[in-house]
Amino acid sequence: MAKEVWSILLQCKLTGKAQEIYAALSLEESLCYESIKTAVLSPHELVPEAYRQKFRTFKKMSDKTFVEFAREKETLFNRWCKASNAVDFNTLSQLVLIEEFKNSLPDRIVTYLNEQKVGTLAEAAVLADEFVLSHKQTFVSPRYESRSFTPSASARRPSSPPRPLPLRSTEERECFYCHQTGHVKNDCFMLKRKLSQPSKRPKEVLLVRTLVGPVSLAPEMEGDNLEPCYKPFMLDGLVSLSANALNQCPVRILRDTGAAQSFILSEVLPFSNDSLSGSSVLVQGIEMGFVSVPLHEIHLSCDLANGVFKVGVRPSLPVRGVTFLLGNDIAGGKVMPVLEVLERPEILQPDVLAQDFPEVFPVCVVTRAQARSLGEAVVLSDTLFATELTGQTVSPPVFPQSTAEPSVQPKVQCDTSTKETTRLPMIRSNLIAAQKDDVTLVKCFDAALAPESAKNKE
């Protein structure tokens, strides 16, 4: 078949984007097969670096033979050489040398050389030096290379030349785990070594609680509905994610001597990846199961402990009304806070009896001598002389009826129509009559003696 008709036969098979490219060609180019081939394949061609990566990373599949693998490997190599314009031995050698040179450079310099599209090894070396000088990097050998040592007999044997070490990057990036500069958390050697170590023995939580009534999986945090057996071990504290006192949040702490790990509710503080310590613990409960609990660093301030500690964060705790479970890892052997002795005791609540009966509980101390003097004093506040002393008007007294001498009691009439009350006349006869009608004074009158009888009795 003549080559002149290839373009006509190819036109019938083009679809999609290839057909659009063919329609955009001129009349002369549409009749040339090579022009059509170049125009159609050019949008699908890749840069030389893409062909190189495909050639280097291509591996044999289990469903293909070695002949097929060799053919595809050769095809990828030819595409890489064609994209790099390696048509003779000189250009091919430069291609291989540049690739080996890039394998010894940091990724930043390799990316810069790929952007510049270097063609020779000398040009790549000059551009690499310019990049290093412009970014203020120095050629400093590692510390262990400068040490002097005496090689052994086996080390004197000829060996392969040492592989050149890549230049260290001086980018100031801090690791969030070890807080050292020069790497990130994903490349942290300390974190990888810690994760590669076998897991330690899980910490026990020996908290036992008797549930009465229906079991509620979600504890109620509102209100103080603690059981009486927990109240002697309750205390208050403050927690925060930073050392700033303004960010502290109050917590209700339960001292659990059977717990080897302390826990806090997740809703107390805004926990995030910044507070995460990077480790977790396996917790075993009364059901004999294991639960992985992440550890976060918090600032704790209470009567038993103060400082920065790693605690487990859980969405719920087994005791209602408790937001922080204080274990032995923080409190150690302390169960109750140390009592403080004050020179002047502080009264938290006033005495109710002292407020209701102030005359029974005086402020000052009454001595025995003062009590004897008060016993001999005559108090007129409860007698009918109080009205004369204070100048106040009172209602007329009502005297009890006497069976012995009913005619002695005077009849006092008061005018109820007027607003003013008739005042009792203070005469001697009225006082004598009132004393005789008083039943409590009968014994006193019987014990009284005349002056002559008292003298004879002495």
Task: Flag whether pLDDT at 406 surpasses 70.
Answer: no
Name the pTM for this structure: 0.30
Q: Is the dihedral of CA 14, 16, 17, 19 positive or negative?
A: positive
Return the structure tokens found at 204. Answer: 């026990």
Return the structure tokens found at 318. Answer: 């087994």
Domain coordinates in residue numbering, the chain = 3-44, 171-200, 203-210+217-331, 352-457
Cα–Cα–Cα angle for 72, 73, 78, rounded to 5 degrees: 95
- Closest by Cα among 72, 77, 76 to 92: 77
Residue 126: the pLDDT is 93
Distance CA 229, CA 327 (A): 17
**Position 200 confidence tier, pLDDT thresholds 50, 70, 90:** low
Distance CA 180, CA 174 (A): 5
Distance CA 99, CA 296 (A): 47
- Segment holding 252, helix H or strand E: strand 249-255
Q: Per DSSP, which regions of 261-377 are E strands?
A: 263-265, 276-284, 290-301, 306-314, 324-326
**Residues 230-245: tens digit of each pLDDT:** 888 888 899 988 888 7
pLDDT above 90: percentage of residues in the chain: 10
**Position 97 confidence tier, pLDDT thresholds 50, 70, 90:** very high
**Position 59 confidence tier, pLDDT thresholds 50, 70, 90:** very high
Distance CA 114, CA 122 (A): 15
Question: Are 127 and 112 within 8 A, CB to CB?
Answer: yes
| Phi, psi (deg, nearest 5) at residue 300 | -115, 135
360 DSSP 8-state letter: T
Mean pLDDT for 129-140 is 75
**Position 149 confidence tier, pLDDT thresholds 50, 70, 90:** very low
Quick one: 203-210+217-331 is in which CATH superfamily? Acid Proteases (2.40.70.10)
Task: Flag whether pLDDT at 67 surpasses 90.
Answer: yes
Distance CA 414, CA 395 (A): 9
Bridge partners (DSSP) of residue 259 are: 205
| Phi, psi (deg, nearest 5) at residue 330 | -105, -50
